[in-house]
Chains A and B, each alone.
Chain A
Amino acid sequence: MYPILSKQKLSNHVEEITVRAPYVARRCEPGQFIILRVDDEGERIPFTIAECDAEQGTVSIIYQVVGYTTRKLSEKKAGDTISDFVGPLGKPAELHHHERVVGVGGGVGAAPLYPQLKKLSEMGVEVDLILGARNKDLVILEDKFRTFCKNIYITTDDGSYGMKGLVTDKLKELIEKGVKYDEVIAIGPLVMMKFVSLLTKQYGIKTSVSLNPVMIDGTGMCGGCRVTVGGETKFVCVDGPDFDGHRVDYDELMRRQGMYKTEESHACRIGLRH
């Protein structure tokens, strides 16, 4: 059993929990994820690690309440336990000693983006951030990013905070203005990562994305999370989750993500990472 040490609401629908999981904490690096099962009847769902502390043996994850497992998680309080919590899974993100990088975070994608940008900043890279969300309530972690990001641009679909529009609008504007980025790291909904990749491809800017397919075991034994990258089948859980954004077959992945749509709505349950 894995005790929840603390729990905090980041907004009306987004929560962060910190769990004691020493085996995960001792080795985890930015880009990696965990799989948890809320209780003995639960499903296995992946979440990217938002923060971890090897000394304390703690790991934090951030999620939006959208389906069966996240709802169950949101019912838990500090002091409650989670049945299973395994990791760190996946390959650590490849972070390079660039001069300047922009992170593009969509919705709760800001959470997995955070450790990557933080590490880059610690490596001496100048980091900018474009944070996008449907509305103000879903913009998270802004203050934490402020501690190390040089420039932060916020966009919301409805204009309730920052610029009204999409992250790609802002990114395009910056590139057209002549800001030189060595790499774009985009994490968020698949459709966002797809359009960021399409945009940066035009300008030839290296782009890394973090994929979020349906997973079961997360250790490479089922292939449920497979995706085509550069014409080859890859397992996101062991070969990823980070890939070259210009080589991913997004349409195939979006289709595969929707495989259990009927079942998910049937029981108000979802099999995706949030």
Chain B
Amino acid sequence: MAPNMNPRKVPIPEQKPDERVKNFNEVTLGYTPGQAQEEALRCLQCKTRPCVAGCPVNVKIPEFIKKVSEGDFEEAYGILVSENCLPAICGRVCPQETQCEALCVRSKKGEPVGIGRLERFVADYAMEKMPEQVPEIKKNGIRVAVAGSGPAGLTCAGELARLGYDVTIFEALHALGGVLMYGIPEFRLPKKLVEKEIAGALKLGVRIEKNVIVGKSITVDELLQGGFKAVFIGCGAGLPSFLKIEGENLNGVYSANEFLTRVNLMKAYDFPRSPTPVKMGKKVAVIGGGNVAMDAARTAKRLGADEVYIVYRRSEKELPARLEEIHHAKEEGIILKLLAAPVKILGENGWVTGMECVEMELGEPDASGRRRPIEKKESNFVFPVETVIIAIGGTPNPLIRQTTPGLQVQKWGGIVVDEATMKTSKENVYAGGDIVTGAATVILAMGAGKKAARAIHEALNTKIPA
């Protein structure tokens, strides 16, 4: 069939903003088969395939899209999962605009091919329509431990299981998925879908030990002594940073981690049917400008807040959140308070009543390449809020580095690895994801998990047994 030369992507159906702020259902509804085929025909099947290099797990993008255009969704799914074990998740949360889609040749004149939307369509189709298949795998009897069941750990475990290893995942929480379960909200990533996709990806006989904290319940050394030939550490960067300003321990101040964990993992939005509560004021300030800040702000709105502010110290151009999320947030009435930084949280009787901020202006670019925010003298202003959510990022939990002698870490706590193999300074120990890079994306963590799995395979497979 001739390619579809429309410069714009086939629009994706969405819930209307005024309806969706009243529920936690998914905002984006996904393509119909017809829409998917129409969009797939926008792919020129170019020989250079730059999109593939933009994907951290190197999905064979033109191949799977070709199958979509032909209406062979099952075949498309097979191609997709040969490289990516969590396509329904990636299709929803990857920042395609800076990865695969950024390199699409169609973006030179118009919009790139909607690769993420097509990936999502195929994964959803498969989940709904295709019988589950468990491929036969020849086990090699070699045991590998994976600490953490976030995107990095899941991918590493899945890849190794496919290669025949006996993999055990150790997870500290009562649910698998890491940030996919406790961080990203239901309205962006439905938890039922996450559970199902993870269960499918681990069908290859991965053992799960929930409620086990590596570094506390068991150490990395104990794992190695206990018969695991390699350990992959994918424990993320879950320790929340606070602002260290006055009033931060007032009632009504949350870290985004706590707020989102209560709402997503513990389903506080369903209180009292779910016994975990959450407190939500009518006016809410979210500090920070990343995806987590957008998630927290949009969640606050859904919990009934009237006015929700994103307070960010740079300008809109520098907001680190995905464009789509900023767009959705604005549609839902989230107010951006830009070039402002909090200096003090105000309270009465122990509860938050307001926030004192200072105006900022942008100076010269700093080490990160973004223009440095500078405080404007005597520009302090106060605005009333009842809830403050701090979403300024996090650092790795110190439990593992404190209990693993010989593991080299950065000053900020990140584990030092060889970038080609994800190997740490400690023999047979690998690491990847946010615990190496600091807070990044789901797909980068998956890429690291995949790379580590291959390196572990190479290292263990070439070793001559004693």
Contact = CB atoms under 8 A, between A and B. Distances in A.
B258 A224 contact: yes
A267 B275 CA distance: 8
A263 B272 contact: yes
B251 A23 contact: no
B218 A41 contact: no
Nearest to B252: A259
Contact of B240 (A26, A68, A223): A223
Q: Which of A26, A223, A227 has the most CB of B within 10 A?
A: A223
Given A220-B399, A223-B240, A260-B277, A252 B257 contact: no
Contacts of A256: 249, 251, 350
Contacts of B394: 221
Chain B interface residue number, banded: 35 or more
B238 interface: yes
A140 to B, nearest CB: 26
B48 interface: no
Interface stretch (A84-92, A167-175, A198-206): A84-92
Contact of A43 (B210, B275, B279): B275
B173 interface: yes
Given A42-B275, A221-B397, A233 B242 contact: yes
B211 interface: yes
Contacts of A238: 398-399
B274 A41 contact: yes
A142 interface: no
A88 to B, nearest CB: 7
A264 B257 contact: no
B277 A271 contact: yes
Interface residues of A, number: 43
A259 B249 contact: no
A221 B239 contact: yes
A44 B217 contact: no
Interface in B234-261: 238-240, 242, 244, 248-249, 251, 254-255, 257-258, 261
A241 to B, nearest CB: 14
A226 interface: yes
Nearest to A221: B238
A81 interface: no
A257 to B, nearest CB: 10
Contacts of B257: 221-223
A252 B238 CA distance: 25
A233 B248 contact: yes
A160 interface: no
A88 B218 CA distance: 10
A27 B216 CA distance: 8
B261 A24 contact: no
Contacts of B218: 23, 27
A144 B273 CA distance: 40
A5 interface: no
Given A27-B217, A221-B240, A41 B275 contact: yes
A157 interface: no
Contact of A88 (B216, B275, B397, B398): B216
A86 B217 contact: yes
A74 interface: no
B211 A43 contact: no
Interface in B153-196: 172-174
Contacts of A41: 273-275
A53 interface: no
A177 interface: no
A226 B249 contact: yes
A222 B240 contact: yes
B399 A23 contact: no
B213 A219 contact: yes
Given A226-B249, A255-B350, A24 B277 contact: no
Interface string B197-212: 0000000000001111
A263 B273 CA distance: 12
Given A84-B211, A255-B251, A23 B217 contact: yes
Nearest to B173: A217
B276 interface: yes
B262 interface: yes
Contact of B397 (A23, A89, A220): A220
A259 B279 contact: yes
Contacts of A267: 271-272, 275
A197 interface: no
A43 B212 CA distance: 18
A8 interface: no
Nearest to A27: B217
A84 B277 contact: no
Interface in B70-124: none
A100 interface: no
Nearest to B219: A27
Contact of A220 (B239, B242, B248, B276): B239
Interface in B385-425: 394, 397-399
Interface in B299-344: none
B276 to A, nearest CB: 4
Nearest to B239: A220
Interface string A6-23: 000000000000000001
B25 to A, nearest CB: 20
Nearest to B254: A224
A64 B41 CA distance: 65
A222 B217 contact: no
A223 B258 contact: yes
Nearest to B255: A223
Contacts of B172: 86, 217, 219
Contacts of B275: 41-43, 68-69, 267, 269
A216 B258 contact: yes
Interface centre among B249, B255, B266 (most CB of A within 10 A): B249
B223 to A, nearest CB: 12
A233 B272 CA distance: 31
A132 B210 CA distance: 38
B261 A217 contact: yes
Contacts of A27: 216-218
Interface in A162-190: none
Closest 3 CB pairs of A and B: A222-B258, A263-B277, A267-B272
11 contacts: A26-B217, A43-B274, A44-B174, A87-B216, A88-B216, A216-B276, A219-B238, A220-B397, A223-B240, A228-B249, A271-B276
Given A221-B238, A255-B251, A263-B277, 16 more contacts: A23-B218, A26-B217, A86-B211, A86-B212, A89-B216, A216-B276, A219-B399, A221-B261, A222-B240, A226-B249, A227-B249, A252-B350, A255-B350, A263-B271, A263-B279, A267-B272
